[in-house]
Amino acid sequence: MAFRLITLSYLLGISENRLFTELPLHGGYLWFCGLDFNSPLPDRTTLVKARKLWRNHGLFEVIMREIVRQCVAAGLVKGDVLAADGTIVKARAAIKSLEAFTPQPLDKYLEELKKQDEKDLEAITKSEDKSEPPSGGEPPVRGQGQSDKKPEGQVLQDVKPSRDLSGRKAGDPDFHGEKFSNATHRSTTDPEARLFRKGPGKEAKLSYLAHDLLDVRSGIIVDAMATLANGALERAAALEMLKKASPLLPPLSPEEEKRFFLGDGNYTAGDFLAEVIALGYQPLVPIGDVRLEPLPTWKRRTYHLLTYSKRKERIRIARARNLALTLKQSREYRRTYRYRVRIEHTFAEAKEHHGLDRARSYGLAAVDEQGKMTAVVQNIKRLATWIWRRKKRAAKAIKMTQTVVTALQERVALLLQLLFYCVSASD
């Protein structure tokens, strides 16, 4: 029932507060969740805790893969042409929440992160074991052994010593003349959000990136994930999704010997094309140059392992670019690349009807959950439509067969009557 409630909120594109307000008044919502008008409703905080627990254990990814497996089993996914792209998801944080900070060393950050994880684990363990009494006893009351005065000589320490507090504080709307950068500023509302803009001359906003891997023939989202707002991460996300989705795809027919990957201009990097080819996909990307580049050669042989590996990598990248240039001039590119726009339609549907234009919660893990659940509800819609159409076609075929059989039976009856009259006349 908790998963049905979560699915319903993503399917309708509404918040959980609004869902729990409308749930007791809507018979269709109650029927979908297996309830009626007299059933007790769960508390909303229970749903929030369950969603956070499932998110930490990767349950949403398991659910998404199960839906994709059902689409493959139903014959909806073909898997011969895949397209990948990313879209901007606005974070739930304003520009005025940015505050300058001083980057701290990596080892210190990892040490603090480890301590925080240990504290969280200890708190979860204590909350689960309700029979265990509090180890610290009753909290002390101010005035009984506590004082607000600090001992002499003790320096007051800030909660976040790595931040530079000499500049503008978060929440101060007067930020004119201040230059913001991901290297020097972080949002106090959502520290994982990054400044990102769609193109030159556009406004930079605190954002995340949501990525989809689409089967363009059926519109099924084979995989989905979210990353920090960085253009270079789009290619890394596409490679990760291709690796995860390859075992789920159905085998190709003898007539279809190749799988194709469609991408925009951000997916034309040579190292990315080489990895895509190594995964067994033919890249159909709008690479700019139309001339084949010669393979790099060297006058001297090297026996240094690192240098030899770099040379092999340069040759592999050059061959990948040449293959992409060759495919761009082929018939497959002209016939197949026009289907890449379907992934833009998928993102438009997700933003317009399912609320993917803005993050529902804070943090990268919550945005990743939002992207996966949005893909789940979109796939469920397509799977339900596919099953309904297939049943409709089957019913139509049965009706046509019954009509043909009835017509044949009438004609056979006429032939039998004619044969009877002929035999009677001959006698």
Look at residue 338 and tell me whether its pLDDT is greater than 70: yes
CA–CA separation, 213 and 278 (whole Å): 18
Any domain includes 45: yes
Residue 158 has a pLDDT of: 42
Any domain includes 23: yes
Q: What is the pTM of this model?
A: 0.76
Structure confidence by residue, pLDDT tens digits, 211-251: 999 999 999 999 999 999 988 889 999 999 999 998 899 88
Look at residue 165 and tell me whether its pLDDT is greater than 50: no
Residue 125 has a pLDDT of: 63
Residue 183 has a pLDDT of: 83
Residue 373 has a pLDDT of: 94
Structure confidence by residue, pLDDT tens digits, 361-410: 999 999 999 999 999 999 999 999 988 887 777 777 777 777 777 777 77
Residue 155 has a pLDDT of: 40
- What is the number of helices (H) and of strands (E) in the chain? 12, 8
Strand locations in 24-150 (E): 81-90, 98-100
79-93, 188-202, 231-245: least confidently modelled range? 188-202
- In this prediction, residues 160-187 reach a mean pLDDT of 67
Residue 166 has a pLDDT of: 47
**Alpha-carbon 144 to chain mean position:** 54
Same domain, 114 and 43: no
Look at residue 162 and tell me whether its pLDDT is greater than 60: no
Closest CA to 371 of 211, 193, 248, 220: 211
Look at residue 356 and tell me whether its pLDDT is greater than 70: yes
Any domain includes 419: no
Look at residue 148 and tell me whether its pLDDT is greater than 50: no
Q: Mark which of 188, 207, 231 sits at the end of a domain.
A: 188
Structure confidence by residue, pLDDT tens digits, 263-303: 998 899 999 999 999 999 999 999 887 788 888 888 898 88
Any domain includes 247: no
Tokens of 400: 């046509």
Look at residue 156 and tell me whether its pLDDT is greater than 50: no
Residue 151 has a pLDDT of: 44
**Alpha-carbon 386 to chain mean position:** 22
Residue 168 has a pLDDT of: 63
Any domain includes 211: no
Structure confidence by residue, pLDDT tens digits, 17-66: 899 889 888 889 899 888 888 888 888 888 888 888 998 889 999 999 99
Look at residue 419 and tell me whether its pLDDT is greater than 80: no
Same domain, 103 and 183: yes
Residue 213 has a pLDDT of: 94
Same domain, 53 and 114: no
Any domain includes 139: no
Any domain includes 220: no
Residue 414 has a pLDDT of: 78
- In this prediction, residues 348-371 reach a mean pLDDT of 92
Q: Mark which of 167, 188, 209 sits at the end of a domain.
A: 188
Tokens of 131: 């029979």
Domain span at residue 7 reads 1-57
Any domain includes 178: yes
Determine the residue type at 412. V
Pick 103 or 384 by higher pLDDT. Answer: 384
Give the H or E element holding residue 226: strand 220-228
**Alpha-carbon 146 to chain mean position:** 51
Q: Which of 71-80, 143-152, 165-174 has the highest mean pLDDT?
A: 71-80
C-beta atoms surrounding 361 within 10 Å: 16
Backbone angles phi, psi at 187, to 5 degrees: -85, 130
Residue 364 has a pLDDT of: 92
- In this prediction, residues 186-195 reach a mean pLDDT of 89
Write the CA distances from 321 to 264, 288, 317, 326, 412, integer angstroms.
15, 10, 6, 9, 68
CA–CA separation, 137 and 119 (whole Å): 18
Provide the number of structural domains found in the chain.
Answer: 2
CA–CA separation, 222 and 217 (whole Å): 12
Residue 130 has a pLDDT of: 52
- The whole-chain average pLDDT of the chain stands at 83
Residues 6+ positions from 46 with CB-CB distance below 8 Å: 2
Q: Mark which of 10, 32, 57 sits at the end of a domain.
A: 57
Same domain, 112 and 49: no
